[in-house]
């Protein structure tokens, strides 16, 4: 029973993280690890990056001291993998300032 509750909480967290990221409501920044991006959420540090698992992106939740608390991966569900991938892509674009670069290029091209 506890596992089901934990998984539903994990899913709710990922859905809200995705929604805030897509709405550009989080200040994602590059982490110390290449291809990974982090953001402070409340008293926690959230990092997203390409995972070692077969399912693509993963989300790491850490305390302010940097110690890992939980590692979330999307699992085999196509919908879950898409949610993680979209969150990763949004975090990457925000952290690297991709939209501002593209806006500048568009302006330069007239």
From 83, 82, 94, select the one nearest 37 (Cα to Cα). Answer: 94
Q: Which two tokens stand for residue 34?
A: 């290449």
Instruction: Over range 27-41, report the average pLDDT.
Output: 95
Cα 68 from chain centroid (whole Å): 15
Q: For the CA atoms of 97, 102, 104, 107, what is the dihedral angle to 10 degrees?
A: -160
Burial class (CB in 10 A: 0-12, 13-18, 19+), 90: buried
Q: What confidence score (pLDDT) does residue 53 get?
A: 59
For residue 2, what pLDDT is reported? Answer: 42
Say how far apart CA 62 and CA 82 lie, in whole Å: 23
Q: What is the pLDDT of residue 36?
A: 96
When the pLDDT of each residue in the chain is averaged and rounded to a whole number, the result is: 90
What pLDDT, on a 0 to 100 scale, did the predictor assign at position 1?
35
pTM of the predicted protein model: 0.87
Confidence of residue 30 (pLDDT cuts 50, 70, 90): very high
Share of the chain above pLDDT 90, in %: 75
């Amino acid at each position: 029973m506890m596992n089901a509750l934990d998984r539903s909480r994990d899913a709710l967290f990922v859905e809200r993280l995705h929604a805030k990221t897509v709405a550009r409501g989080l200040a994602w920044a590059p982490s110390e690890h290449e291809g990974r991006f982090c953001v402070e959420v409340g008293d926690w540090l959230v990092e997203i990056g390409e995972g070692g698992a077969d399912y693509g992106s993963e989300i790491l939740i850490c305390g302010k001291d940097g110690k890992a608390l939980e590692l979330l991966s999307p699992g085999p569900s196509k919908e879950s993998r898409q949610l993680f991938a979209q969150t990763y892509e949004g975090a990457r674009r925000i952290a690297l300032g991709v939209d501002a670069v593209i806006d500048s290029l568009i302006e330069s091209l007239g």
